[in-house]
Amino acid sequence: MTQLIEIACDESGSEGENLMEAAHSVFSHASVNLSVDEAEAIMSDLAGRTRSSAQELKSKVLLRPANRRHLIEVLRPDGPLTGRVNIYLADKSFFVVGKIVSLLIEEDAHAHGLNINAYERAIANQLFDLGPRALGEADWKRLLVGFNSLVRTKKRSNSIHPSFSDFVALLDDVRLRSKRRRVTEILGLVWEAREQARQFEDPSESLLRELEPIVPTLNWVATSWRLRLGDVPIAFIHDEHWALNEEATELLVKAAKARVSISGLLMPSVDLRSISLVDSKSDPRVQVADILAAAGRVVGEDALEGNTSGQLAESIKPMLDFNGLWSENSPLGTLIPPDATAHLSRESFV
């Protein structure tokens, strides 16, 4: 009988469904294939190097300039983490643009009997890459913030939820300002699909959070580990997260069995047995994932600011998931090494 492999996980940069007015521009998720003993040894080593006596050594301590060298030492190519880590990055702004396409344009096409799934990513890429220049930075951000505010399920306390008509008025104003034909065409499709946004005016609290990145992230991360490990049963041990309720975890376990297509390749199904939530203080594997998720987020945010080099970036690059969520022309894509999929064989996709 094949042994169950436990993958420990944590995230960094999660601010719920508040994506456009968040403190962090990148959502990062790290997962590790380590035993408890291996993780304990890593955390003990880092605690000794940083002279930390805390019950749990947190990422913010290791990412201080004075301590980064200790983290980089653990990340060395011949170190204990090589080949045992997956770090998935998502550009939050691009995530919102993708949702504009999938929740409005794609849903409207489906209502009219059309299947445009194969074109969604391309449409999102075009809108994201051309939108700021077509509309100007201010109107571009206004559009994304307006959509984000409408679709958010959890609201700020004492805040007034934007109405459907508020969003429609904003969309109408912005689309007429476009100075690029392709953006005008895409926003025309959004305008035609605007009725699809009405459902978010007063969303049910039971709905899965459409703008919470962790659910689609875990769906792909399961596939990523399937490609690395082969057809073996896996279980996720995840730090506590408000969005990973019973409904979400059951959906993820079920969704893992479906085969999805990425860049024309049909991905294999995943034997994901369970997703368990733990307090990171109780599991050193999750503590390692916490540190790596934060390091990945810092590297990703630096890349969006134009800095894709440096010791930390070079150490993190081999651990990055090749199928992260960013636009075609994003600096995040330049972080992925050319041989990022070299560990995959034809058998990986069976």
Q: Write out pLDDT tens, residues 201-258.
A: 876 554 457 789 999 999 999 999 999 999 999 999 999 999 999 999 999 999 999 9
Q: Which residue has the tokens 């919470």?
A: 212
Residues 6+ apart with CB under 8 A from 152: 17, 18, 161, 211
pTM of the model: 0.93
Q: Which residue has the tokens 């459409």?
A: 210
Please give the radius of gyration of the chain, using alpha carbons only, rounded to the nearest integer: 21
Q: Which of 44-58, 145-159, 331-345 has the highest mean pLDDT?
A: 44-58
Encode pLDDT of 291-304 as tens digits.
Answer: 999 999 999 999 99
- Segment among 11-15, 21-25, 337-341 with least mean pLDDT: 337-341
Residues linked to residue 85 through DSSP beta bridges, in sequence order = 32
From 47, 128, 94, select the one nearest 291 (Cα to Cα). 47
* Amino acid 286: pLDDT: 98
* Amino acid 203: pLDDT: 61
Position 343 pLDDT exceeds 70 = no
* Mean pLDDT, residues 35-49: 96
Dihedral-angle region of residue 146 (phi above 0 means left; psi in -120 to 50 means alpha; beta otherwise): alpha
Position 72 pLDDT exceeds 50 = yes
Q: How many CB atoms lie within 10 A of CB 269?
A: 15
- Segment among 160-169, 176-185, 245-254 with least mean pLDDT: 160-169
Q: What percent of the chain has pLDDT over 90?
A: 81
Which helix or strand (DSSP H or E) is residue 225 part of?
helix 214-229
* Mean pLDDT, residues 172-176: 96
Position 344 pLDDT exceeds 70 = no
CA angle, corner 292, sides to 46 and 41, nearest 5? 35
Label residue 131 by pLDDT band (50, 70, 90). Answer: very high
* Amino acid 198: pLDDT: 94
CA angle, corner 192, sides to 186 and 197, nearest 5? 100
* Mean pLDDT, residues 156-171: 81
Sign for the pseudo-dihedral over CA of 118, 14, 333, 21: positive
Q: What percent of the chain has pLDDT over 70?
A: 93
Alpha carbon separation from 237 to 214, 278, 322 (Å, rounded):
14, 7, 22
Position 126 pLDDT exceeds 80 = yes
Q: How many CB atoms lie within 10 A of CB 152?
A: 23
Distance separating alpha carbons of residues 164 and 157, to the nearest angstrom: 20
* Amino acid 347: pLDDT: 45
Distance separating alpha carbons of residues 245 and 215, to the nearest angstrom: 10
160-168: long-range contacts, CB 8 A cutoff, minimum separation 24? 161/201, 161/202, 163/201, 164/197, 164/198, 164/200, 164/201, 167/194, 167/197, 168/194, 168/197
From 173, 106, 96, select the one nearest 139 (Cα to Cα). 173
Position 349 pLDDT exceeds 50 = no
Cα Dmax for the chain: 62
Distance separating alpha carbons of residues 187 and 183, to the nearest angstrom: 6
Torsion of Cα atoms, 297 then 300 then 304 then 308, to 10°: 140
Q: Which residue has the tokens 């978010």?
A: 200
* Amino acid 217: pLDDT: 96
pLDDT, greater one: 261 or 134: 134
* Mean pLDDT, residues 129-143: 97
pLDDT, greater one: 347 or 265: 265
SS3 81: coil
Alpha carbon separation from 184 to 148, 190, 233, 323 (Å, rounded):
20, 10, 47, 29
